[in-house]
Chain A
Amino acid sequence: MAGKGLSRRELFNLSAVVGGGLVLGRWLPVWAQTPPASLQPNPFVRVAADGTVTVWVNKSEMGQGVLTGLAQIVADELGADWDKVVPVQAEADPKYGNQNTGGSTAVRTQFEELRRAGAAAREMLVAAAAARWQVDPNRLKAEHGKVVDPVGKRSLSFGELVGEAAKLPVPEKPKLKDPKDFYLIGKPLPRKDSRIKVTGEAVFGCDVRLPGMLYAVVARPAVFGAKVKSYDPAKALQVEGVVKVLPISSGVAVVARDTWAALKGRAALTVTFEGGEAGFSSAKLLEQMTELAGKGGKVAASQGELAEAWERAQLKVESLFTLPFLAHAPMEPQNATAWFHDGGLEVWAPTQVPMPAREEAARAAGLPVEKVRLRVTLLGGGFGRRLVSDFVRDAVEVAKAFSVPVQLLWTREDDMSHDFYRPPSVHLLQAGLDGGGRLVAWRHHQVTCSIGQQRNPARAGQVDRGALEAAEPPYTIPHWAVEQTLVPTPVPLGAWRSVYASQNPFASEHFFDYVARQAGKDPWRFRLELLPEGPLKQAVKLAGEKAGWGRKLPEGWGRGLACCSSFGSHVAEVAEVSVQDGKLKVHRVVVAIHCGRVINPRLVEQQLVSGVVFALSAFLRGKITVEGGQVVETNFDRYDLLRFNEMPQVEVHMVPSQDPPGGVGEPGVPPLAPAVANAILAATGMRVHRLPWEG
């Protein structure tokens, strides 16, 4: 089965656990299928008598490959046969630890814990074999699903041992393997979920199908902060298939026998809204931010005597950069399914935060959290959008009025106009060089909106440390300061893949190239000169070498490099672009990453390519405009993504390392925009002052 993914039976387990009530017409918990003899020393791993190894994955699968990568860690320490490993998406339960999936933390935070989970099961299987053979367990090894006695040249399969192993005490501190013995960790194993995702069998949130289920959509106010003033359900109820119209906290829900009837009912519904931020315009906000950028901000971090150094500098350079609001736009719009029955509530949700979503469901239901089960389906993309559980609340509030399950779907327009947006920002950068061309002074004034302070207004007036991600210069500069000015906005804000690292390094890394060119320096060599020895410098060096830095390009082409340390990893990217007749084409992107120990190079490569595409979409076309308090770009016609025929050739290189693993989901995003901007600067001599690129 190697390379073929999951078999039908295993697939059933997986699809059952990700919400496949469809298969049997009812929910079948995976433990109902527990074979009589099995070994389960902890919540993460079970070895069955038939040799199947089930791994409960506590982070949500949203494309980043946790069903494969996290299972790989457990399987290696256990000594499992990879073909017999079945990953299962864990439901929301404190026994699985912190299930929140964000900040590129899945491998970083789970590596040691999952190794211990696998090692505990391995020690018990080895002890059972040692007892049966009456030998010292230290001479035995567990590999490929067997306990092997190299001296006696004999082996026993895991399945033959589970009965005896299950009777042994669970080791508290199992001994971890010597990393030189890893045989799965570090291998480019194929994903376990590829097959179900090309056959239609994968169950995403909106694919949950339950008997008698109804479908709901919500008429929401287009203007941020507006509320329902009045509604009349009569016309909506005339639509065939509509069964109920009811107010909920986000608007007026229309519930029907199929999605189309619900949508037609919503269109027919008479509803008026009042209040809200109808006077808000993103253009005015950006004007205000630009004005503030010219004034001083709160010094958030600094070194040396910047004012003095600036005074003495021989060459002074300055630039202003402006970035827009952005939407997450995952391909699967927000949705959730809720079913009140037997005094409790069951929820199926594509969420990045299983426990907070379960708690939100409990609050909306008015039930204690123990009465709520929340099953995590596959996520059709996350990118930070599904860190918020508003869609779960919607579904629960509607389902409360029914005894049958209700699936609540957001349309694309709902999703685009009620996101938690990447905040806009304006950056003023200033640099001073001395007579010898040395960079002696650096000032970065960040003007942005605070996600943290919007959630927690009590912190207003303070510096938002979270917003300073990747804002400090990584270079050796004697005198520098990072200043911050925060501006409130009524537009809901949230974490967008790489969060503030999608802003700060765009400004500083693009500006760095401009400074280098003003000083007559090669930007790659200037970076190598000013970076301290360490992982970021290694990534910068590798990216430049692999890209063939300095090699001649055709007329009208340019090459640019940028780098950033974020989420525990260090990435440099080199972009090759052409600008001809005002048309920009990104031809090639070379990525070099230092992310510590690599668990699965195939998944790392996928995530970095994905980061490049995500960031390139934003660079070329990403922009959310708010006029009259409502979002202008509500579908893919005005919020277009990178397309197949625009895909650059992307190469990924990894700096070999035994350091603890770093993140990979986000770190590919930050260097892309400045690398492309630097390539445009090289090709045209023009800076990119504003995103998206306007030519």
Chain B
Amino acid sequence: MPKFRLTVNGREREVEAAGDTPLLWVLRDHLALTGTKYGCGVGLCGSCTVLVDGEAERSCSVTVAQVAGKKILTVEGLGGEHPVQRAFVAEDVPQCGYCQSGQVMQAVALLARHPRPTPAQVAAAMGDILCRCGTYDRIARAIARAAQEVRHGR
């Protein structure tokens, strides 16, 4: 098995896996970072969203070989007090919670790019992350809350 060096949540990690292994399974099975979820395996649901060099990526659709040497941020790497996480808790967003890591990571990427996102920018960014419980209205409120918090530097 080939070895790959990744930077995951600021830590250098070496994994031994087939080069075509999707990042998703490297995170979940090799590194026990189970916050990143499997939902569809083909980039349709967004539950597996992580940041790769700051960009939101579906981790089921990029291989470990493609992300070797890149900076990967998963939901565990946000530290728990990220403004987006605080806002999701304040708005009591999750229901079953399974899609929420993907929702949070996509929102983090959105606010990094657009600190004052317009409703159209929010819809474009969040439209591909499915939630079967239907928490979308609270996600929208949480993003607005987080954006405000970031602007006021809290």
Contacts and interface: CB of A to CB of B under 8 A. Distances in A.
Interface string A311-340: 000000000000000000111110000000
A209 B32 contact: yes
B39 interface: yes
Contacts, number: 189
A190 B94 CA distance: 11
Contacts of B97: 63, 193, 196-198, 202, 204, 378, 380
A649 B77 CA distance: 33
The DSSP consensus for interface residues of chain A is loop
Given A200-B76, A331-B45, A637-B44, A381 B38 contact: no
Contact of A380 (B36, B42, B98, B136): B98
Interface string B85-107: 10011101111111111001000
B40 A636 contact: yes
A258 B30 contact: yes
Contacts of B98: 204, 330-332, 380-381
B76 A645 contact: no
A606 B139 CA distance: 13
A335 to B, nearest CB: 9
B12 interface: no
A569 interface: no
B8 interface: no
Contacts of B85: 195, 198-199
Contacts of A442: none
Interface in B32-74: 32-42, 44-45, 47, 74
Contacts of A190: 89, 92
B40 A194 contact: no
Interface stretch (A102-110, A475-483, A607-615): A607-615
B99 A331 contact: yes
B96 A198 contact: no
Interface string A615-659: 000000000000000000001110001111101011000000000
B17 interface: yes
Nearest to B87: A198
B38 A333 contact: yes
Contacts of B89: 3-5, 190, 194-195, 198
Contact of A643 (B33, B34, B127): B127
Nearest to A264: B18
A258 B127 contact: no
A448 interface: no
B21 interface: yes
Considering residues B132, B133, B134, B137, which has the most beta carbons from chain A within 10 angstroms of its beta carbon? B134
Contacts of A264: 18
Given A636-B130, A647-B136, A330 B40 contact: no
Given A380-B98, A614-B132, A609 B44 contact: no
Interface of A: 3-5, 22, 62-65, 190-191, 193-204, 206-207, 209, 215, 240-241, 258-261, 264, 329-333, 378-383, 409, 411-412, 602, 606, 609-610, 612-614, 635-637, 641-645, 647, 649-650
Given A260-B25, A332-B98, 8 more contacts: A65-B95, A199-B75, A215-B29, A258-B30, A259-B25, A378-B97, A613-B134, A643-B127
5 contacts: A190-B89, A200-B33, A215-B29, A258-B17, A381-B132
